[in-house]
Chains A and B, each alone.
Chain A
Amino acid sequence: MDQLRRDPVVGRWVITFMDKPYAPGDFDIKHFPDKKGPCPFCYGHEGMTPPEIQAHRQGLSRANRPGWSTRVVPNKFPALRIEGDLGRQGVGMFDMSNGVGAHEVIIETPDHKKTLADLLDHEVEKVIWAYRDRSIDLHGDKRFRYIMIFKNHGYTAGASLTHSHSQLIALPMIPKNVNEELAGSNKYYEYKERCIFCDMITQEKEENERIVCQNSRFLAFSPFASRFPFEVWILPKEHHSDFSLIQTEDVIELARILKDVLLRIKSVLGNPPYNFIIHTSPVEERERADYHWHIEIMPKLMHVAGFEWGSGFYINPTPPEVAAKYLREAKI
């Protein structure tokens, strides 16, 4: 019999197929051709982006010239604008404010053909350092309350350019989903006086059927109530609530496990589109006992339809136990 599984943090239910689970080959993954014309994220095209905010560069190369390994630039078509005040106001019963915020692009490699999974460990480390450095910098801007780092890979996951990149958005309010996650973990903490994510790590290690891979500092597993087939979460084994306080050794191990998981997904599913999001504590109250930062990786293998939109229920045709087994056994 199929199961309804409840996410312990935010309480959403997932219809999980147990009887006839989908295998990797059952998903229809469409690949879209690369956009024509010069790519603004390639070497020599630095002038096509707004001037860089920061870059890892070798030797004496100059800003906005080739010679970089990762490069952070403002989004050319930002969803939010960096200048100005919030100007919160009411319009009758409605509330609104100006669209103030930061929207940056982290170009992960100068190599147009490589995905994040194909980079070397030390190259992935530089990407993570860029995430951290930009978070720390934006924490200083009093207008911002939340910093969201995410990646869209592939056209159907929302990536408009194929050249490997991630994005950062600093927001003037705490987004709804983040509030829900914080509220759910806080409720658990008040009841148990333990972090819900720490408990999850303990149970996953004990049951040992949803673990994808691990190293000395991080655990990657398919969550019990996975919304999407082959969804994977990466959690630091030690309790930390704020991603931006990550230390050097953790950056090294995070780079390894992130690359490892992405390679497994790529190998099992054939380079599917995916999103990943770093879930971390808000700018105020960065260090807290009731929250645990982590990365959620969501392959986009299916269309989300009316039922999911209307109900907040999800339908997952591959039980996480089955997905984890495929990913564990992947040849990489």
Chain B
Amino acid sequence: MPELRKDPVIGRWVIIATERAKRPKDFKVEKEEAKKGPCPFCKGNEDQTPGEIFALRRSRTKPNQPGWDVRVVPSISPLLAAEGDLGRRGKGMYDLMNDVGAHEVVIETPEHIANIADLEEGQIAKVIDCYVERFLQLEKDKRFKYVLMFKNHGRAAGGGSLQHARSQLIATPVNPKRVKEELAGARKYFEYKERCVFCDIVKQELKQKERVIIDIDGLIAISPFASRFPFETWILPKKHSCNFYDIKPAQRRDLAGIIKRVMLKLKVALNDPPYNYVLHTAPFRRPKGGYWKTIDADYHWHIEIMPRLTHVAGFEWGTGFYLNPTSPEDAAKILRETKI
């Protein structure tokens, strides 16, 4: 009998197939051809991107020249443009505003390496330093309410054909709907239980163990109970914290380590699948009549990694119900046992 499972934070239901459960080899990962021609993200080609916003560089190297380890540049085709006012307005019953925001690309390595799984732990730690730095800077711009940090790897995940590891930051002038839902769900749980829902998830997963992939000192990687996608993986800090960019330098190294191991396990177990990963963190708290009063206690930052192995079809779009052909317990077991 298939199971219906409910996500405890935002309340969406997932159908978990128990019979005909899919194993890694059942998913067809289509291999893509690499784009030909010089890569604008490689060292030496710095002039092929817009001028850098920030970079971690060796001493005495100049901006937009080689000598960097991680480099942040504006997107060549930004989804949101940085200048101007919001200009919120109505058109009859409809609402609209200008597309004000920021869209940045974090180039994770000067070498032409496609997957973050193949970077050194120290290099990933530098990428995390860059994220933190950009969050701190973007918070200063009062027009922005949220920064979404995400990564599209592989063409089927929207990563295009440029095979050079990078992540993206988009600063938005409104809190995105998905983020609001998660915040509302976490707040509701807190109002009822006076505990953080994510802390409770961490505790239950550590006790049950069957969905744990990696358990290290301050962090845990799990297949969530109501995984939407086969081999969906979340990384959470064990200690409660709502703001990603409050992460201490020592913990950045541990986070880099667990990201590397999770990504490598996914790469090995699933034959380098396309994936998205998204950082879920608290919004910039612009004052709003008591609105944020419990967020420090009720929300918990984490990373959600979604391998893109199945096509999301009409049913999922229409309902917000997901069909997952691999149970999270099976997925966690396979990933736990994957040798890296």
A interface with B by C-beta (< 8 Å): 1-6, 8, 10-13, 15, 77, 79-81, 84, 91-99, 146, 148, 150-152, 155-159, 167, 169, 171-173, 175-178, 180, 196, 199-200, 203, 206-207, 224-225, 275-277, 279, 296, 298, 303-307, 309-313, 315
A-B contact pairs, 11 of them (CB 8 A): A1-B99, A6-B94, A11-B177, A77-B20, A79-B17, A80-B4, A150-B314, A203-B94, A206-B92, A310-B148, A310-B179
Contact A175 B99 (CB under 8 A): no
A204 to chain B, nearest CB (A): 9
Q: B162 near A: Cβ within 8 Å?
A: no
Contact B181 A312 (CB under 8 A): yes
Chain A residues with Cβ below 8 Å from B204 are: 92-94
Most chain A CB inside 10 Å of its own CB: which residue of B178, B304, B306, B321: B321
Chain A residues with Cβ below 8 Å from B280 are: 310
Cα–Cα distance between A92 and B178 once the two chains are bound (Å)? 25
Cα–Cα distance between A158 and B317 once the two chains are bound (Å)? 11
Contact A307 B319 (CB under 8 A): no
B162 to chain A, nearest CB (A): 14
A81 to chain B, nearest CB (A): 6
Contact A15 B96 (CB under 8 A): no
Contact A156 B311 (CB under 8 A): yes
Chain B residues with Cβ below 8 Å from A177 are: 317-320
Give the contacting residue for B94; candidates A8, A151, A171, A276; CB below 8 A.
A8
Contact B10 A176 (CB under 8 A): yes
Which residues 287-340 of B sit at the A interface, judged by CB distance below 8 A?
304, 306, 311-315, 317-321, 323
- Give the number of A-B contacts (CB < 8 Å): 215
Given known A15-B80, A169-B315, contact A3–B96 (CB-CB < 8 A): yes
Q: B168 near A: Cβ within 8 Å?
A: yes
Contact B321 A99 (CB under 8 A): no
13 more A-B residue pairs beyond the given contacts A276-B314, A312-B179, with a C-beta to C-beta distance below 8 A = A79-B17, A93-B200, A94-B5, A96-B4, A146-B319, A158-B314, A159-B313, A176-B12, A177-B318, A275-B318, A305-B150, A306-B276, A311-B177
Contact A305 B94 (CB under 8 A): no
Give the contacting residue for B99; candidates A4, A77, A79, A306; CB below 8 A.
A4
Contact A306 B6 (CB under 8 A): no
Q: B1 near A: Cβ within 8 Å?
A: yes
B81 to chain A, nearest CB (A): 7
Cα–Cα distance between A134 and B277 once the two chains are bound (Å)? 40
Cα–Cα distance between A207 and B181 once the two chains are bound (Å)? 33
Chain A residues with Cβ below 8 Å from B278 are: 306, 309-310
Cα–Cα distance between A126 and B16 once the two chains are bound (Å)? 33
Contact A313 B172 (CB under 8 A): yes
- At the interface with chain A, which of B43-51, B105-113, B152-160, B259-267? B152-160
Which residues 77-99 of B sit at the A interface, judged by CB distance below 8 A?
79-81, 84, 91-99
Contact A305 B314 (CB under 8 A): no
What residue in chain B is nearest A158 (Cβ atoms)?
A: B313
Q: B127 near A: Cβ within 8 Å?
A: no
Given known A173-B13, A224-B94, A303-B156, contact A279–B6 (CB-CB < 8 A): no
Given known A2-B81, A99-B2, contact A155–B176 (CB-CB < 8 A): no
Contact B93 A95 (CB under 8 A): no
Chain A residues with Cβ below 8 Å from B96 are: 3-6
What residue in chain B is nearest A228 (Cβ atoms)?
A: B317
Closest 6 CB pairs of A and B: A158-B313, A305-B158, A99-B2, A306-B150, A311-B176, A275-B314
Task: Give a binary string over B128-150; 1 marks a CB under 8 Å from any A CB, 0 the rest.
Answer: 00000000000000000010101
Give the contacting residue for B84; candidates A1, A84, A172; CB below 8 A.
A1
Cα–Cα distance between A94 and B331 once the two chains are bound (Å)? 18
Chain B residues with Cβ below 8 Å from A315 are: 79
Q: B61 near A: Cβ within 8 Å?
A: no
B308 to chain A, nearest CB (A): 9
Cα–Cα distance between A150 and B314 once the two chains are bound (Å)? 6
Cα–Cα distance between A180 and B321 once the two chains are bound (Å)? 13
Chain A residues with Cβ below 8 Å from B148 are: 307, 310-311
Given known A277-B317, A279-B318, contact A98–B1 (CB-CB < 8 A): yes
Chain A residues with Cβ below 8 Å from B313 are: 150, 152, 157-159, 275
Q: B226 near A: Cβ within 8 Å?
A: yes
